[in-house]
Structure 1
């Protein structure tokens, strides 16, 4: 294997980059960015499923978007899997735990771009650009009523890197912010912090104009925004989901939109995903849909490569704890 061109050979690479599960992601650029940061290490890109199964056999350090069980079962010496996503709920975590494999994630690399995405989504509905778009397509020069963001209340569920980035970007707009996290006593960048207890959460929802979901998918957050939560929200509230699709009960959301129980929704993630062509969510004029795209910018892979390369250096001799290690 050549450390400069990424072609495969019989040599065992120091770092293996998996291509599977990337869905159009420029994984060549990701592998190139890691090589640039590890000039003394052999970095191989597995270009086909067969390459993945063959190359992973003896590699201790692997990175990629996903790790399928059919590939994992071939990994005889795997010690670290550096997931290129912030979420790891799609990985075979139980088996990785049983094998003693350390898992790291991409927490933090999404913060600037996803913070901007959320801010854009909020402004989209505040200034009702969806209404302007419809009238432009019809060539109608007709005024419509818009809103102001100042004085609104934005509730941010999840105060990790993404949630903090959202709060930071909202600060100049003169809004009240409520953060929701597992341990409210830790505080956060929001004006108020509450927990996931039903009374506290629903009290926050009742005061919310924009509900931003930026949390991981866990037993607590799965179905968090259900029919009751959507009923608690004011009819003028907007739901912005950049977390995971199953955080929102899709049937309840469709019902709320049909009944005009909320003002609209901005969905970067859905359940199911990809969203089927015949799904009713496509047909609402007050629903903004992006294809799980909030975290994708060219700088994403540079920030991710910084974390992965640093962890490879620590693993191969520099020492110290791995960055972004996930508790299994």
Structure 2
């Protein structure tokens, strides 16, 4: 059952197109039915009755549909099309005794590329100079070279690892902060520390990139105290979930010039709500993009490759890919 409505929440892919892509990849014979997040409760109950696999996004796999799992006796797998699952009610997944899998890793390369593009845009003041040129202002104030600067990457999962590689290739000093530093460095020359060393690492950063999943442990991890530790010339790049950074603290840090710049792709709210309660996206020292870091043609096929492999694995009794630890939340 494909439950994600219009294409705006699913990499630009409609349920009909998703079914076509999956049928091309699957070895298992499947019948696909689609439902909209606006479907009535009665309509969803009817569709769930014969559902073995439920496919949706973090936004559409919500409390409404997850509360109806008692009407889905055959349901075995809930497959999220994205890497972030913070909106999915994990208690409902646990109570139903079904497996939750995500698509983590499918967009790590484009998100890392986007993060580094934002970092370079900040360093070279690309957006600022573009605005000035359009106003007829020829302002040649210099930018900075990133070679030799220190880049602290908060989160060394798939995205953080790819970003560390790109930063290192540009000659940056890379510090990675991860929950399990004993797993070592993913990139030669990258220093790796535990989360307990975050405060001692922040004063060294010219750039801080947030690439952590949002969980109860990481929500608000970067706040007023953390910004106070950073250089006034430092900048922050946010490409995971914005709520890892306290919204008010970020706003204050930017308007009071406690830090220099922010480049943000993932926001505190999505349409129809405004991206930020504080209109952070409108500040002059902010580069804003509309959560597009992971949306590429290549990502679409990687995502649905994971979905098809998991459907085939489920049918064949094999281990599933990207199974979420419901206790950890990722």
Same fold (TM over 0.5): yes
Question: Structure 1's 57 and 22: CA in aligned 2 closer, same or farther, altered over 3 A?
Answer: farther
Q: Deviations over 1:256-297 (max 9, x none)?
A: 111111111011122244462774313211101112221111
SS at match of 1:44: coil
Cα pair 1:30 1:302 within 8 Å, conserved: no
Match of 1:4 in 2: none
CA apart distance, 1:188: 2.1
Match of 1:157 in 2: 154
SS at match of 2:32: strand
Match of 1:10 in 2: none
Match of 1:176 in 2: 173
Match of 1:8 in 2: none
SS at match of 1:142: coil
Match of 2:78 in 1: 81
CA apart distance, 1:254: 0.8
Cα pair 2:251 2:278 within 8 Å, conserved: no
2:51 maps to which of 43, 59, 63:
59
1:112 maps to which of 91, 94, 109:
109
CA apart distance, 1:101: 0.6
Q: Does 1:202 align with 2:199?
A: yes
TM-score of the superposition, structure 1-length normalised?
0.89
CA apart distance, 1:24: 4.8
* 2: CA distance, partners of 1:68 / 1:207: 40
Match of 1:300 in 2: 299
SS at match of 2:214: coil
* 2: CA distance, partners of 1:229 / 1:45: 48
Gap regions ≥5 residues in structure 1: 1-15
Aligned residues: 310
Residue correspondence of structure 1 range 99-248 to structure 2 within 5 A: 99-190=96-187, 191-197=190-196, 200-248=197-245
Match of 2:65 in 1: 71
Cα pair 1:159 1:214 within 8 Å, conserved: yes
Q: Deviations over 1:107-129 (max 9, x none)?
A: 10011110110110010011111
* 2: CA distance, partners of 1:31 / 1:210: 42
Root mean square deviation of aligned Cα: 1.8
* 2: CA distance, partners of 1:237 / 1:267: 15
Cα pair 2:28 2:312 within 8 Å, conserved: no
1:264 maps to which of 244, 261, 264:
261
TM-score of the superposition, structure 2-length normalised?
0.89
1:33 maps to which of 12, 15, 21:
21
Match of 2:321 in 1: 323
Higher-RCO chain (CA-CA 8 Å, sequence separation at least 6): 2
Cα pair 2:108 2:159 within 8 Å, conserved: yes
